[in-house]
Amino acid sequence: MAALLSPEDIENHRVAHELVRLKLRLPLVNHLTGIHIKPLRRQWNKIHPNSPPNGRLRESVRAFISDSFSGAELASFVAIYNRLAPDVENSVDPALLLRALTMHARIAHRELDINAAYFAIRDVRAKIVEWRRCGRCQTGFIYSPAAFHMRSCPFCALLGS
């Protein structure tokens, strides 16, 4: 007979399953849930036709912001997450990550890459990038001097001002 799981374990497995379904890279699912890579890989192979990507992880949100549109989209996502988790905790809550993704999809009618979403929150919370308020439109955006499309407000850029 399998060991009995506590309600917390069951919730943790449910969250892990959802993260795998949305194709969060397995080392990140492992990091967020503490579940070993092997069972996570089995789960991935059950859900998806292609095996999990083996390549290097893109390690920062900077790799996902290639234009004003992606900058604006990820800024909107971070704003939603910050509303759900206003405390300045220096870690990503996987259940709240999923809730914020669902809310974002409802508003944007588009599914965000969960890997980009994860790094956006993590980098903002870890202060690897800066969460700034635009002096012109007052919208929050992800600022970094290291990337061209992160040096100014993406919403103003989209408006062409």
Q: What residues make contact with Zn ion under the rule CB under 5 A?
A: 134, 136-137, 153, 155-156
DSSP 23: T
Q: Judged by CB, which is closer to Zn ion: 42, or 136?
A: 136
- Comparing CB distances to Zn ion, the nearer of 103 and 156 is 156
Closest CA to 158 of 72, 48, 54: 72
Q: Find the shortest distance in angstroms from Cβ 132 to Zn ion.
A: 10
Tell the smallest beta-carbon distance from residue 75 to Zn ion (Å).
10
Q: Which residue's CB is nearer to Zn ion, number 95 or number 156?
A: 156
Neighbouring CB atoms inside 10 A of 11's CB total: 12
Spacing of C-alpha 136 from chain mean position: 27
Nearer to Zn ion, 118 or 155 (CB): 155
Closest approach, Cβ 142 to Zn ion, in A, equals: 12
Q: Which helix (H) or strand (E) holds 68?
A: helix 68-84
Coil, strand, or helix at residue 139? coil
Least spacing, CB of residue 151 vs Zn ion, in Å: 12
